[in-house]
A and B are shown apart, each in its own frame.
Chain A
Amino acid sequence: MTSLSTDAPAASTARSGKRAATPESRPRQSFWARENIAKILFVVPAGLYMLLFFGYPVAKNLVMSMQDYTTKTFFTGEAPWVGFQNYITVISSNLFGPALLNTALFTIASIAGQFAIGLALACFFNRNFPLSRFLRAMLLLPWLLPLIVASATWRSILDQDSGILNQFLGTFGVPAIPWLTSPDVALLAVILVNIWVGIPFNVTLLYGGLQDIPAELYEAGQLDGATGWKAFRYITWPNLRPVVSVVLILGVVYTIKVLDIILGLTNGGPANSTQTIAVRSYQESFVNFEFGVGAAFSNILIIISLVFAVIYLRANRRAVDE
Chain B
Amino acid sequence: MTTATLNHSSVRVSALRRKAIKTRASTVLGILFLAFMLFPIYWMVNASLQPSGNTLSADFFPWNPSFAGYEKAIADQGKNLLTSLVIALGTVVVTLAIAAPAAYALAQFKFRWISWALLAILIAQMIPGVVIANALYAAYNNLGLLNSIPGLVLADASHAIPFAILIMRASMMSIPASIIEAARVDGAGQVRAFFSIAMPIAKNALITAGLFAFLFAWSDFLFALTLTTTDEIRPVTLGIYQYLGTQVSNWSAVMATAVLSSLPAIVLLVVAQKYIAAGATGGAVK
Contact = CB atoms under 8 A, between A and B. Distances in A.
B and A form one assembly: yes
A277 to B, nearest CB: 9
Interface stretch (A58-66, A82-90, A220-228): A58-66
B40 A157 contact: yes
Contacts of A64: 134-135, 138
B11 interface: no
Interface in B120-160: 120-124, 126-139, 141, 154-155, 157-158
Given A121-B33, A302-B128, A146 B40 contact: no
8 contacts: A39-B105, A45-B97, A74-B141, A144-B276, A149-B262, A246-B284, A250-B284, A278-B130
A121 B165 CA distance: 30
**Which of A144, A155, A294 neighbours the largest number of chain B CB atoms within 10 Å of its CB?**
A144
Interface of A: 4-5, 7-9, 11-12, 15, 35, 38-39, 41-43, 45-47, 49-50, 53-54, 56-58, 60-61, 64, 69, 73-74, 121, 124-125, 127, 129-132, 135, 137-157, 159, 161-164, 167, 196, 199-201, 204-205, 208, 246, 250, 253-254, 256-257, 259-260, 263-264, 278, 281-282, 285-286, 291, 294-295, 298-299, 301-302, 305-306, 309, 313
B154 to A, nearest CB: 7
Nearest to B243: A152
Interface string B29-57: 11101100110110110010000000111
**Which of A47, A141, A161 neighbours the largest number of chain B CB atoms within 10 Å of its CB?**
A141
A149 B189 CA distance: 47
A205 B34 contact: no
Contacts of B129: 257, 259
Given A42-B102, A56-B135, A259-B129, A131 B30 contact: yes
A50 B128 contact: no
Contacts of B134: 57, 60-61, 64, 281, 285, 291, 294-295, 298
Interface in B207-246: 215, 218-222, 225-226, 237, 240-241, 243-244
A114 B126 CA distance: 19
A140 B135 contact: no
A132 B194 CA distance: 38
B31 A131 contact: yes
B211 to A, nearest CB: 10
A124 B28 CA distance: 12
Contacts of A159: 56
B26 A157 contact: no
Contact of B130 (A124, A285, A309): A285
B273 A50 contact: no
B281 A145 contact: no
A43 B30 CA distance: 45
Interface in B95-127: 97-99, 101-102, 104-106, 109, 111, 117, 119-124, 126-127
A249 to B, nearest CB: 10
Contacts of A127: 23, 26
Main secondary structure of the interface of B (DSSP, over half): helix
Interface of B: 23-24, 26-27, 29-31, 33-34, 37-38, 40-41, 43-44, 47, 55-58, 97-99, 101-102, 104-106, 109, 111, 117, 119-124, 126-139, 141, 154-155, 157-158, 161-162, 165, 176-178, 181, 185, 189-191, 194, 215, 218-222, 225-226, 237, 240-241, 243-244, 248, 251, 254-255, 257-258, 261-262, 265-266, 268-269, 273, 276-277, 280-281, 284, 286
Contacts of A154: 40
Contacts of B276: 137, 140, 144
A152 B255 contact: yes
B138 A60 contact: yes
B281 A204 contact: yes
Given A46-B98, A153-B41, A301-B131, A144 B215 contact: yes
A54 B98 contact: no
A45 B269 contact: no
Contacts of A38: 189-191
A246 to B, nearest CB: 8
Contact of B277 (A11, A140, A298): A140
A309 B244 contact: no
A204 B280 CA distance: 7
B30 A125 contact: yes
Given A53-B161, A64-B135, 11 more contacts: A38-B191, A57-B136, A135-B30, A159-B56, A167-B58, A250-B284, A260-B221, A263-B225, A264-B241, A282-B133, A301-B130
Given A43-B101, A149-B262, A301-B130, A157 B43 contact: yes
A124 B132 contact: no
Contacts of A285: 130, 133-134, 137, 226
Contacts of B120: 50, 54
Contacts of B41: 141-142, 145, 153
B43 A301 contact: no
Contacts of A50: 120-121, 124, 161-162
B127 A42 contact: no
Nearest to B161: A49
A291 B27 CA distance: 53
The 6 closest A-B pairs by CB, nearest first: A46-B102, A57-B135, A146-B219, A60-B135, A257-B128, A129-B26
